[in-house]
Copies of this chain bind each other. A is one copy, B any other.
Amino acid sequence: MLECRLTDRLGDYIDLTSDERTAVDRLTERELRLRRGATLLRENDRPGELYVLTRGTMMSYVLLDDGSRQIVRFLLPGDLVGMAGVIYQQSPETITASTDCTVAPFDRALLGILVDKHPRLGALLLALAQMERVVCTDRLAAIGRTTAKARVAALLLEVRDRLRQLDASIVDTFAPGITQEEIGDATGLTAVHVNRMLRQLEDDGLIAREGGRITLLDGPTLARISSYVNRYAGFDLGWLPPAR
């Protein structure tokens, strides 16, 4: 199973000093194991803690009155979990484990201390928050303004790019590890229609499927029809302050 520490993730973007590394590792001293399907945090709970997801996958979503669900983000190892709730007295989202997984909980006061002692890390977290916001707006544009086929294609590309960031050996074949219903809940479609769109993409020769694994046969075309841009690349972090 894929594993990634927060220091590894942050280290993808900047070279951490050993002081910074120590400070970040301090957030992940405790460890919590979750079973597939377990709920870490529920909407309107009081979100006292934050988490680093270290092993397994989770998802954050919102439930509406009529029982429908909007998946906001799939969480992968190395992701900070629960940041959206850090400013509220009530959590705006529910977070559950899609697979068995391990998280490291830490009090949110530690986040303040971390930023205070290591402003550069604060700036980096601010940058990563912006990245997530941009990913969210991309999804917004996809759901608001593109066809079902394009939305599914964009989601597949995003999943591929994020998995590749964790494991460079992943190129175009991967097991997304999410059901068609979850794809639907992330893209604003029904599971039935997601299934049809996957079939169409397959018939178009853009993807292949086999036993839960998906191969992107023609990434450029997929990206074109879905207006997909990889937001996990193309950074400019030259404005970050020096390490302290």
Chain A residues packing against B (C-beta within 8 Å): 62, 64-65, 68-70, 72, 83-84, 86-90, 92-93, 107-109, 111-113, 115-117, 119-120, 122-123, 125-127, 129-134, 136-141, 143-146, 187-188, 227, 229, 231, 234-242, 244
- Contact partner of A68 (CB less than 8 A), chosen from B70, B107, B145, is B145
What are the residues of chain B within 8 A of A87 when measuring CB–CB?
A: 127, 130-131, 235-237
**Copy total for this chain:** 2
Which residues on the B side are within 8 Å of A137 (C-beta)? 62, 70, 72, 84, 92-93, 136
Q: Is B140's CB under 8 angstroms from A108's CB?
A: no
- Contact partners of A234 in chain B: CB under 8 A: 88-90
Q: Which residues of B contact A238 (CB under 8 A)?
A: 109
A119, B123: Cα distance in complex, Å: 9
A62 near B239 with CB under 8 A, answer no
A231/B144 in contact, CB under 8 A: no
Which residues on B sit within 8 Å (CB–CB) of A69?
145
